[in-house]
A and B are shown apart, each in its own frame.
Chain A
Amino acid sequence: MLDLQKYSCLGAALRDALDRFSGETCLIEADREREKTRLTYSDFKDVSLPLARALEDADFDPGDRAAILMTNQSKWLISAYAIFYCGGVLVPLDYKLTAPEQLQLLAHSNAKVLVVEYHLWRAIMQAPEFQNIKTKLVLVTEAPVRADLAGGFRWEDFKRKGAPDFVMRQREDAACIVYSSGTGGRPKGCVLTHENYLEQCRALTAWYPFWPGVRYLSILPTNHAIDFMVGFIGPFVCGACVVHLRTLRPEFVRDAFVRYRITYVALVPMIVKNLERGLRAKFDELPSWKRALLNRTIAINRLLTRKQPRIGLSRALLPQVHRAFGGELLALITGGAFMEPSTMQFFYDLGIPVVNGYGLTEAGTALTLNDLKPFRADTVGKPLPGVELRVLSPNEEGIGEVAARSKTVMSHYLDDAELTLETIVDGWLLTGDLGRFDNSGHLQLFGRKKNMIVTEGGKNIYPEDIETVFDGLPVKEYCVFAANYVWRQKELGQEMLVLVLRLDQNQKFDSALLAELVKRNRQLPDFKRLGGYLVWEKDFPRTASMKIKRLALAEEIRKSIERSAVVAL
């Protein structure tokens, strides 16, 4: 791989990678069973530089921001490289947000350019907020012939001949603005520098290297910190290959493992559990004698790999299982949300290590990772090289808020000095997560100090961000909480959002109100929906400026109502 210490920016590292690994395959894109694109590093350079030149000619200057709003595909990475080549700052936006939310973040980031897939652009054009869009240049991919692009240009046609000028950036310059949340009013745009990414990449590849021939299956959205690092920067600076799949249908995901002989894949817990369910169903179909034999083989594998993974041995012991994953899988990387230890153990016992880690957008990609020496399903691993972690104000059990100091910690929140000062104190990033270290230096997490949830799909949801959907609800007042914030737990998991309602005097909770609640809830994307509601009998405590005192309210509720009183929605 490239020696990243020598580089001052991502653009320079990627540029050298394209030359150094020119003959290697860098990208494969498949849609269901159809392969659509296959590019070598040399091909990648040939398609991205004309785009960079066209951007430069369109007055896209160093330091300007360009947003990408696309599902996982080759044009995402090609566009990102062209943006870095021009010295631009990349704003990866989440395609799963609603169009008004995307427009809000686009405006907040002040992006001069937007690269967007046609179906997403169509939804944006239909949003009422579209009339206020200020983005100067919009490049739309895969638009049908004669489609109305509302002033946008076809990405496929937006290219110019002639070599673009490469713009060198410094390590402290912003590379990306990544939104960790904030669609409800206070956007949290994490400004991550070139140094953040270069150091994160060095740390990750020190433990889990890529090399030419490695094939990484990109399933997590590329706007997500994990896939951006292990599905783009990491593989590219090592000459490896990224496989994009245009569908998340489990059937085609399973097929891709075999078709492309995948080496690594990063998954959120929801997908890992789906794979587990599929395997268990297959095991259950086996005749009893075969099932007994399988169970015995799994037990032997577990015994022989208890100190460290022995992939070759596991493949020999359980060939059918490993063939179903393509036969070359080295590990499933997981993160972004709580992962049940039993699921990790299930895969490890089959000889497929699950590499569990912990991180947050504010700290790049990962702060800790399991090194598999030995495999541990009960922790989120050890701090990566260069990462300092400490537990603040630990209680008698050693549990306290985890704070991090590292070259991978973001520079600041975009346009929010106050929040930055609250979050990065004396150089330490306050994570809001509660944890402790065990005797072997592994970090164990025990819940959250902050009012938020992380879904199994790896999405951070802040209650404040969804409350606007309930504006005008015919009640006196309401407030949304993360259930685990109100009823503190010593473990992660079982996360849900709860709406607390204060009814008007003499008002009854009737079927009309319930129907309205259900209707509003369904306006939210499925991963943001409330899990239940609760009727509260007192007025909410408020500040002098009439803001709800959320912590005080949560404490009052905790003292007088059990979690089991929450009514499921």
Chain B
Amino acid sequence: MQTAEETLDEILKLAAAHFKVPLEKLHPDNDFFKTLGIDSLQTLDLLTKLENHFRVEIPDYELQGVSDFRTLAGKIQARL
């Protein structure tokens, strides 16, 4: 199984590709609403992409209050 750091790296790459921003602009502790200038629905769009990639399913309520990539990676890692 991949490590938490590997999961985090993959998430950053996928987010950069999804929102068409340079990877170096994204950091694990970034508030993604602010860094990417997105609203909560656009975040949900990204999450659907991540779920498909990692083949996991996370209920919406588990993501309430999550706003940085590291915490998000933790939620995904817990289900891998």
Contact = CB atoms under 8 A, between A and B. Distances in A.
Chain A complexes with chain B: yes
B76 to A, nearest CB: 15
A119 B44 CA distance: 19
Contact of A526 (B33, B59, B62): B33
B39 A248 contact: no
A76 to B, nearest CB: 14
Interface residues of B, number: 20
B64 A96 contact: yes
B22 interface: no
A274 B44 CA distance: 11
Contact of B39 (A98, A120, A270, A525): A270
Interface in A261-309: 270-271, 274
B41 A247 contact: no
Contact of B45 (A32, A251, A457, A522): A251
Contact of B47 (A249, A274, A456, A569): A249
A510 B64 CA distance: 31
Contacts of A251: 45, 48
A249 B40 contact: no
Nearest to A278: B45
Interface string A215-255: 00000000000000000000000000000001111110000
Interface in A94-124: 95-96, 98, 117, 119-120
B70 to A, nearest CB: 12
B67 interface: yes
Interface string A153-190: 00000000000000000000000000000000000000
A71 interface: yes
Nearest to A527: B40
B10 interface: no
A193 to B, nearest CB: 32
A120 B60 CA distance: 12
B61 A270 contact: no
B32 to A, nearest CB: 10
Contacts of A248: 41, 44, 60
Contact of A250 (B33, B34, B44, B65): B44
B42 interface: yes
B7 to A, nearest CB: 20
Interface string A525-557: 111000000000000000000000000000000
Contacts of B9: none
Q: Sort A-B residue pairs by CB-CB distance and give the 3 closest, nearest first.
A: A274-B41, A249-B44, A119-B61
14 contacts: A71-B61, A119-B61, A249-B48, A250-B44, A251-B45, A270-B40, A270-B41, A271-B41, A274-B41, A457-B40, A522-B67, A525-B64, A525-B65, A569-B34
Interface of A: 32, 71, 95-96, 98, 117, 119-120, 246-251, 270-271, 274, 456-457, 522, 525-527, 569
